[in-house]
Structure 1
């Protein structure tokens, strides 16, 4: 992610906490806050696009799955002959032409004659991963062909994983994907949600792939059944028969390094993913605010906590895919009934006053109030930016969550 795409306020706040605040904190408080700062730095300051390898036999639906995840026609679908000679990185870019996701698409396992392809499969892989490597490998098996030469394919899959380990000292996780489940019997039951009879057939296919993978791999996280069929006309989706794609994209979040989460949320446009990341940000921000607020320095923490809260809201707006600018922030805080420069500051001022009135216990009270206020803003921002709920609902959530613990 380029600097111009990062919420500037968040970057500045993290630098302030890292360089100015943490060195002055007691060791016990520093140990609690530092992991949360590191988590936010990984999410936002070191962000890059996620990378996948998509492998399987021709006809398993590699390009179709890529298009389904992108929700755009970005990969050419070959229906007659193998279209992919060299392994190639497909990229999805935003309106500024910056890469959000990279997918390594290879020609199908066991396909392609020497007359068509000069490179062997292993040579093609070597060429593709010379400078970079996938964060995870998606192993695609067509639902109606789970018994077809799968042992041979899994050995090739293991070779690819081993090659990446040897070249980059990284063992990418493997996720099995059973594709085209809509073609299983009964054939007339082709549109999800499926009947129990179709679901039984899907379960059998998934169980078989899972059993075969476990013979070679001890760390297979999951096998997920999908239908990825989309029809496009003039670049627009005109028919959508996707099944379980959101389950797949949600699950892949756990297989990806934290510094890819932001772009994964933006490209998949999944509310579950966006909400999960937003809550991660909110919990870290609340923990930091609690630690800062509990320090016995009246008023000195006011700009830091305010900055943390503003930055958190800016991050959630960014996660939601909103075009980020200061107007976006003002829009939210105005909807909450607060002006960033006045009401929010007064709320923080009242926290600090408790330190004068209760010199010892006031620190704990202040820290708790800082955490609950920050968490309340997080919940409100999720409703407003991600759920796109009316401002009044977001404000009610903020008011309600002032007294609620983190959940």
Structure 2
């Protein structure tokens, strides 16, 4: 939060100390702190993946990023031992994984000592999520796999999301259809039946609190044998046929439910433009909430004088996410250029010019108080305009229209 305080201290107009302290405290909310720290301390997601040998673990990771990150083989699939390892892209770690040996091998071979070792490895790893991968075209081992997962998970002193990924749904009948946009109703119905069957088994073994998602990781690359290539050559592979299905649904769940530091890292390394927009949207919501909180807090100053710095910081951070570094003056001028709609008819230019003198100015008909609804909708509208202008690359006229529409929409809710 030092960066936010620095922005407040660098405002190009003065505000009273008590008002400044209120702004800083409002921007020290847990949500805003979490976002700021998440961006600053972002790290690769840590996953525990459990599944039978050949269920498609590496293919799933590749499908998430649309890049050949892992060695995937149609002949020798999977890993032989439980181990912690990394998926990298251009020498940058993208994922950290504990990939257990194929579950079947674990069930047959793990001694009590080995089970304790696995438990210790997982706890020291501090995973963000557990993934159980089960073959969509074969449910014969699902119950056994689920029981094993429950035993491992329940023995741990951690609580993280559980996801059951039904893989290879492209092999569900009619298996000849690989392109998701051409899935017939029969194939979709069969996928839904499979999902219901998996849900029932998980509930029966006591794993009802798990997110279930059927996926296809099917990708054809522009090389017949990717594993014969060097890591650098694999990174250059291009998708010739994309049969991925529901991968976006899985990624969205991860982004919304894992540690925010890992979620930010995942977003920024997956689809950068979408990631920036998502983070900016979070900023808009939490800054709007902070503004609403200020509006219901008694202060010896006009609320509007406190909302201005909040909105300036909001615009500055959104511009920063887009790669543009602006100061408080530029942020204020951006808001002024849009007409100051957020400040319910009272010109921002007037406020900025008057500075501390504004303490003696009362908003007609409302004294010095602003409703939390107006404060929220105004800050939300400013944030929406900033996203439109700095991130979406729209003109100021277009941004102004989006600001006006956003304000109306929020006030109607």
TM over 0.5: yes
- Offset of residue 179 of structure 1: 1.1
Which deviates further from its counterpart, 61-70 or 278-287?
Answer: 278-287
Work out whether 1:104 is the aligned partner of 2:105: no
CA displacement 1:48-77 (0-9 Å, x = unmatched) = 433222221122111111112233222221
Work out whether 1:160 is the aligned partner of 2:152: yes
Per the normalisation by structure 1, the TM-score is 0.75
Residue 9 and residue 347 in structure 1: after superposition, are their counterparts in 2 closer, same or farther (change >3 A)?
Answer: farther
SS in 1 for 2:399: helix
Work out whether 1:213 is the aligned partner of 2:202: yes
Give 1:3's aligned residue: none
Contact 1:253 1:264 in 2 (8 A): yes
Work out whether 1:74 is the aligned partner of 2:62: no
CA displacement 1:326-345 (0-9 Å, x = unmatched) = 399959975983699xx966
Give 1:4's aligned residue: none
Work out whether 1:52 is the aligned partner of 2:55: no
Return the match for 1:89 from 65, 71, 85: 85
Return the match for 1:137 from 130, 137, 140: 130
CA distance in 2, matches of 1:113, 1:213: 18
Per the normalisation by structure 2, the TM-score is 0.74
Return the match for 2:217 from 214, 228, 232: 228
SS in 1 for 2:403: helix
Contact 2:255 2:263 in 1 (8 A): yes
Return the match for 2:255 from 225, 229, 253: 253
Contact 2:169 2:215 in 1 (8 A): yes
- Offset of residue 398 of structure 1: 1.6
Which deviates further from its counterpart, 330-339 or 175-184?
Answer: 330-339
CA distance in 1, matches of 2:2, 2:80: 41
Give 1:199's aligned residue: 188
Give the count of matched residue pairs. 378
Residue 157 and residue 348 in structure 1: after superposition, are their counterparts in 2 closer, same or farther (change >3 A)?
Answer: farther
Contact 1:354 1:366 in 2 (8 A): no
Q: Extract unaligned runs of 5+ from structure 2.
A: 11-16, 223-232, 341-346
- Offset of residue 368 of structure 1: 5.5
Work out whether 1:65 is the aligned partner of 2:83: no
Residue 292 and residue 250 in structure 1: after superposition, are their counterparts in 2 closer, same or farther (change >3 A)?
Answer: same
- Offset of residue 226 of structure 1: 0.8
Contact 1:312 1:378 in 2 (8 A): yes
Once the two structures are superposed, the pairs formed by residues 354-369 of structure 1 within 5 Å of their partners are 356-358=361-363, 361-365=366-370
SS in 2 for 1:362: coil
Residue 371 and residue 23 in structure 1: after superposition, are their counterparts in 2 closer, same or farther (change >3 A)?
Answer: same
CA distance in 2, matches of 1:125, 1:22: 54
Contact 2:136 2:168 in 1 (8 A): yes
Contact 1:225 1:244 in 2 (8 A): yes
Residue 400 and residue 40 in structure 1: after superposition, are their counterparts in 2 closer, same or farther (change >3 A)?
Answer: same
- Offset of residue 203 of structure 1: 0.7
Which deviates further from its counterpart, 263-272 or 37-46?
Answer: 263-272
CA distance in 1, matches of 2:349, 2:47: 45
Residue 346 and residue 188 in structure 1: after superposition, are their counterparts in 2 closer, same or farther (change >3 A)?
Answer: farther
CA distance in 1, matches of 2:323, 2:193: 45
Contact 2:362 2:368 in 1 (8 A): no
Which deviates further from its counterpart, 330-339 or 254-263?
Answer: 330-339
Give 2:300's aligned residue: 297
Contact 1:9 1:307 in 2 (8 A): no
Which deviates further from its counterpart, 217-226 or 387-396?
Answer: 387-396
Contact 2:319 2:326 in 1 (8 A): no
- Offset of residue 248 of structure 1: 1.2
Contact 1:290 1:371 in 2 (8 A): yes
CA distance in 2, matches of 1:123, 1:261: 29
CA distance in 1, matches of 2:142, 2:264: 35
Larger Rg: 2
Contact 1:317 1:385 in 2 (8 A): yes
